[in-house]
Structure formats: structure tokens, C-alpha cells
């Protein structure tokens, strides 16, 4: 199968990660186009990946099999309305925007039924270590599902969802998830410094521990709870720390935080889908 021609609308961080992943997989530069109003973004992406870029979104659409909508949720409606007349009926639409439903995209893209895949990737896509949840509407063909999966798996793991609503949960767990780990890294570094370590040492200890723990959790044949038990000696230092976390309501706090993210994703869909 020849690789599809892909147009990126919006050439910011997530688009740059996806384009980098595609290029690393051997997709030809001339199979990819991108548009963005920012001259700087266009120059950067075109210099890094050798692709053609455009200031007018409609110019990126020429011959596209797949159009990736990679703009912020707040401008999505205007972008879709502007593109609708220009889109071929067979084009696959892939949206990575948080809180924008397939129904809203369909409404903004005009009366013609559209094949739409809604995705939620995350920023480790930059290092091809991302993970995405994908939902396809009823118009998406098997071949188009394969095209969307190829696109997202160029930057990490791609997981299909049976219900669109689950995208809110994916957003809460993995879309926003990198920020939670960064928050923990910030807090552990600060706590290490408070305990007397030089900041750079506290940062290095924290980062290497995060990396080692993530790799163990990914590569081990036992689950995270068992790995935690193996670190926790009876009446030892880890037990003291875990008890302090739990006394502070750690698990409930994590649940509350993820509920807030999922709720905000659904709320964005409600507010921006009008």
C-alpha cells in the first residue's frame, strides 16, 4: 500500500512530533504538507522535516488523503468551517484536539458525512514514547483506521476505544498524565533539597529513579503493587513514606485530580461544541 498524503492543519508541538515520527518511519517529505499562520512555526517545521508549508490552511489540502487537525480546541470551529468546502468527500479527518467531539467536527465540516478519527495523544510523542487513545466514527473504513493507527503509532502506542466518551478518561490518564509525573519530579527534587542535598544532585537522583521505576514497571512480569512491596521492608523507610502519603489521602487525591481532568474534557466538549 502506498503511504497516504497527509495535511497537518496547525504546525505546533504535537504536529511537529507526529511529522517527526512519520519522517523517521520513512514517509517521504513530499507526502506531508502543513499549514500554520505563524511564519516562525512554518520555517521551523519545514527546515526540520523538509516538508512544504502554507500560511493558508486550504492550500495544505491539495490531494490530501488524511487531514490532521492539530490546532487548539478554541480555534477548531473556525478552522473546520473554513476548510469544509475544500475537503474531498473521501478524506479522512484525524483530530487530536482535547474536548472536541466527532459530532461537533461533523457539524462544522458541513452536510457531507465525514470519516473522522478522534485521538488523544500525549507529549512523550516527541521522543516516540507517546500513547494515544483513538475513536473512529461509523464513516471510517478499515483502510482509514489503518492509516490513523499508522500515524499515531509512528510516535508511540495507539489504542482503539469502542466508545467516544472514553476519550475523556484517556485525556485524564495519559493526555494530561505527563504533567502529573513532572509535578512529582518537581516535588521530590524540592523535598530532596530540603533534606540537604544540592539541587542538582536531588534532581539527578529523582530523574534516574523515575526512569528506573518506569522501566521496571514496563519490563517486569509482576505488577506495580508487587514492585512496590519489594521496595518496602517491614517497618523500614519506604513504609514510613508510604504511610505518610496515605495519611495525606494520596489515592483519593489522584482520583480527584483525574476526575477533574475528565470532567474538564467533557466540559470543553459542551462549551466548544455549540
Ligand X SMILES: NC(=O)C1=CN([C@@H]2O[C@H](COP(=O)(O)OP(=O)(O)OC[C@H]3O[C@@H](n4cnc5c(N)ncnc54)[C@H](OP(=O)(O)O)[C@@H]3O)[C@@H](O)[C@H]2O)C=CC1
Residue ranges for the known binding site for NADPH are 57
State the nearest-atom distance from the C-beta of 84 to ligand X, in Å: 14
Residue 175 within binding range of ligand X, rule CB under 6 A: yes
Measured from the CB atom, is 84 or 204 closer to ligand X?
84
Distance (Å, whole) CA 64 – CA 61: 5
Residue 17 within binding range of ligand A1CAB, rule CB under 6 A: no
Find which of ligand A1CAB, ligand X, none residue 189 binds, CB within 5 to 8 Å per kind: none
Subset of 165-184 contacting ligand A1CAB (CB under 6 A) = 171, 175-176
Measured from the CB atom, is 239 or 270 closer to ligand X?
270
Find which of ligand A1CAB, ligand X, none residue 269 binds, CB within 5 to 8 Å per kind: none
Find which of ligand A1CAB, ligand X, none residue 102 binds, CB within 5 to 8 Å per kind: none
Residue 94 within binding range of ligand A1CAB, rule CB under 6 A: no
Cell of 252: 483519593
Of 35, 101, 150, 265, the residue at the interface with ligand X (CB under 6 A) is 35
**Footprint of ligand A1CAB on this chain (CB under 6 A)?**
98, 171, 175-176
Amino acid at each position: 500500500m502506498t503511504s497516504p498524503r497527509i495535511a497537518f492543519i496547525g504546525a505546533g508541538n504535537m504536529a511537529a512530533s507526529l511529522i517527526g515520527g512519520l519522517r523517521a518511519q520513512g514517509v517521504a517529505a513530499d507526502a506531508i504538507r502543513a499549514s500554520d499562520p505563524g511564519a516562525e512555526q512554518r520555517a521551523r517545521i519545514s527546515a526540520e522535516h523538509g516538508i512544504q508549508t502554507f500560511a493558508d490552511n486550504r492550500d495544505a489540502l491539495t490531494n490530501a488523503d488524511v487531514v490532521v487537525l492539530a490546532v487548539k480546541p478554541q480555534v477548531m470551529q473556525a478552522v473546520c468551517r473554513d476548510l469544509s468546502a475544500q475537503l474531498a468527500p473521501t478524506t479522512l479527518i484525524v483530530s487530536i484536539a482535547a474536548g472536541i467531539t466527532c459530532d461537533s467536527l461533523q457539524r462544522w465540516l458541513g452536510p457531507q458525512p465525514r470519516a473522522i478519527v478522534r485521538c488523544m495523544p500525549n507529549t512523550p510523542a516527541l521522543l516516540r514514547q507517546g500513547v494515544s487513545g483513538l475513536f473512529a466514527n461509523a464513516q471510517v473504513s478499515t483502510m482509514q483506521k489503518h492509516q490513523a493507527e499508522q500515524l499515531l503509532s509512528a510516535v508511540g502506542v495507539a489504542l482503539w476505544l469502542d466508545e467516544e466518551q472514553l476519550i475523556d478518561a484517556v485525556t485524564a490518564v495519559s493526555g494530561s498524565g505527563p504533567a502529573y509525573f513532572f509535578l512529582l519530579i518537581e516535588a521530590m527534587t524540592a523535598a530532596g533539597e530540603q533534606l540537604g542535598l544540592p539541587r542538582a544532585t536531588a534532581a539527578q537522583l529523582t530523574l534516574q529513579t523515575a526512569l528506573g521505576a518506569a522501566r521496571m514497571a514496563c519490563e517486569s512480569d509482576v505488577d506495580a503493587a508487587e514492585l512496590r512491596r519489594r521496595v518496602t521492608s517491614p517497618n523500614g523507610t519506604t513504609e514510613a513514606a508510604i504511610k505518610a502519603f496515605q495519611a495525606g489521602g494520596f489515592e483519593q487525591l489522584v482520583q480527584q485530580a483525574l476526575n477533574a481532568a475528565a470532567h474538564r474534557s467533557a466540559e470543553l466538549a459542551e462549551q466548544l461544541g455549540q
